[in-house]
Structure 1
C-alpha cells in the first residue's frame, strides 16, 4: 500500500522541477489559494456565483425550492424526502482514467454548495501526487458539513473512485462520509425520464436538448486525462484552465438538472412535458413508485400523442392492468376500441383484449371471433407482440366451438346451425 505513490511517479515520469515551478503559478493562473492542513499543503481554486445566476433554464436558487419528495422518488432514495436542500453538496471529479485501480488519480475534486447568498465552487487540485493525502483530508473535513450528496453517475464512478484514494494513505475510515449520506445520483432520474426519447443521457446531451445550457471555452471530457498528464510532465498550468471550467460547469448544471427533473416528476401535466415518449417514461416512474393514478394519467397522455408502434404497445400493456386493478374496466375497453378503429393499427393487443372481453364478459362470441380473425391477419405486421399464431388459432377454435354448441335459437342472427 505504501508503495503506491512512487509507482505513480514512475508511471508518469514525474520530474520535480516542472511541478515545483508550477506551484508558483497556480494561485495566479487558477484564481486559487494555498492552505495548510494536518496532512500538509493543498491547493483549491474558488469561485462564487450569486444564487440568482442562471444556468440554462433555471436559476441556481431554484434548486432550493425543488420538491425533495419528487427527487427522492426519482432517485429511489427515501432518505432524500424532506431533507434541507440548502445542505446539499454537489460533487464532480476529474480523473486520469476510468479504472478504479491504484494507478488512477482523482486530480480534481469539484464541490459546490450554497453559502449565505452565494453558490460557492471549491475545486481541490492535485498539484502533485505527493500532496494527495493533504488534499483528501481537506475534502473529507469539508464534506461532513453537508447532509445530501448530488452527483451525476456518482454512485458508480465519482464516489468509489474518490473513496479508493483514501486507503493508500491510511485514511480508509475517512472515506465513509461518501457513502453515509443520502445520495441523489441524477444519472438514474435522467434515464427514467428521458432515455426513450434522447437515447443518450450524457450530461452534455441533456444540457443541449433539455436544459438550455451553452458552454464556451469547454474541453471534451475524453481529452481531460491527457491534459493533466501533460501538466505532470511539463508543469504548464495554463492548459488546465478549460478543465477547471468544465468541472465548474458540471457542478452548476447539476443544480439545474436536479431542479428540472424534480419539477417534471412533481407535475408533468402543466405543459412542460410535450412528447409522448416522455409521458411514457414518467408513467413508468410513477408506476414504479406505486402512484397508480398519476401513472394512468401519464400513460393516457402518452397514448393521446404520437407514439411509434413499440411505445404505443408498451403504454397499452402498462395502462391495461392498472385500469383493471382500479376497477376502471370501461376505460380499458374504450382504449381498446379506439385503438382498433385508429388509422395507426400497429398492434394486435387491443384485438386480443377485446376478444377476451367479448368472449368472457359480454358473451358476444360472434364479435370475439371476428376480432381474433383480424388479429391473425395483422399478426405478421406486429413486430412487438409475443403472441404466436398458434395462440390465436387456439383461441379462435375455442370460440368457434362455443358458437357451434349454441342452440339454434341462441345462434347469432343470420346463422343457421
Structure 2
C-alpha cells in the first residue's frame, strides 16, 4: 500500500451517500455534483458540497473531477479458496462441489498455496472496488490464517471462518464435531477483533455437517455472541430434498440450524431462494441477514431470489458475488445481475437500491453499518471512485443522462474493473 505522509486528505468529485434505505425512502440518497469527503487518520470527518466544506490545514487534495466517490463495495458472501476455479463449466450445485470445489479446497492445507490464492483474491477484489469481503475458508486452519494475514497486511476490514464439514465430503476435507469446535475456537481467539478483522463461525451447510457438529458450532456461537455465523440455505430444490432426507424430523431446512443454536440476529444465510413461509417469518423475527448471490444463482441454475418482495416484507438483505460459484469478482456485475433477476420477478430495482445493497445493505447484514458502507462522519474511509465514462459504450449513454441515476446505471449494467478509478482503504489509496 502506498506510503503517504499526510494524515488528512480531501477527495473532490461527485459524491453519493445515503441517509436511509431507498427501498423504504426514495429520498434517502444524497448526491453532490461537486462534493468533498474529508478524511483524517483513516476516518471520514465530514462530507458535503466542496465549496462549503471545512478543509483541514495541510490536507492533501485529490481532485477526481466528475468521477463518483462512494463507499467501497462490500461482498457479503464469497469463497476465496475458489478463486482459481471461477467459471468452471456446466454443473448443478452438488456436482459442481464434487467435481470442482472439493478438489481445489483440498489444496489449502498447504500454507504457501493458501497464501498465494489469498493474495490473488484480494488483488482481484480491490481492482473491482471491493474493500470488505466475507469469505468461507476451508477446513484447514492454514486457510483462515492466510486470508487474515493478507487482509491485515493490506489494512482491510475482512471476515472469514474455518469451513466445517464432517460428512458428505471427501476424506481429506472432513473434520469432526470436536475438531470443528476446537479449531474454530482457537482461530477465533487468535483473530477476532484484531485490527479490522472478524471471525465468522462457518458450518458449510447442513448436508455436510452431522447434528453433532451443528450442535458443537451452535454452542461455540453461544459462547461468542459478538461473532457472525454464516452458512447456506435453500439454494437449489435438489439440495432442499437432500436436507429433508438427512434430517427427516426437521420442520424445514431452517430448522436444521435453529434446532442446534444456529439461528440468530447475527446469522448470515446465503442464497435463501426457496424459503418456506415459516422460514421467512422466523428469519425476519430474529433479524437475521439474507445474502443475495445473483451471478451464482444464474450460473449454477438455482432460481430467482425475490429481492423486492423480501425487502418490502422487512428482511435485511445484502449482496454478494459468491465467487467462485458466482461468475464475476465485480460487484458492478453483481448489481447488474440483481437487476436482471428482479426484472424476471416483475420489479425493476432502482439504481439507488442496487448501490445501497452493495454498500449500506451489506454493511447492515454484517452489523457493521456504524463502521463501513457509507460516506458519513465517523465511518472508516474505505472508498471507491467510479469513472462513469470508462468505456465508449458507457460514455455515449452517460452523455445523454438527465440525472445522476441515468449516469450511474450504464456503469452498473456494463461496467467492470475499468470503471474503478481509485480505491481507498482505511484512509489510504491502494489503487489510484
Whichever structure has more helix as a proportion of its residues is: 1
Whichever structure has more strand as a proportion of its residues is: 2
Radius of gyration: which is bigger?
1
Structure 2 length as normaliser, TM-score? Answer: 0.24
Structure 1 length as normaliser, TM-score? Answer: 0.25
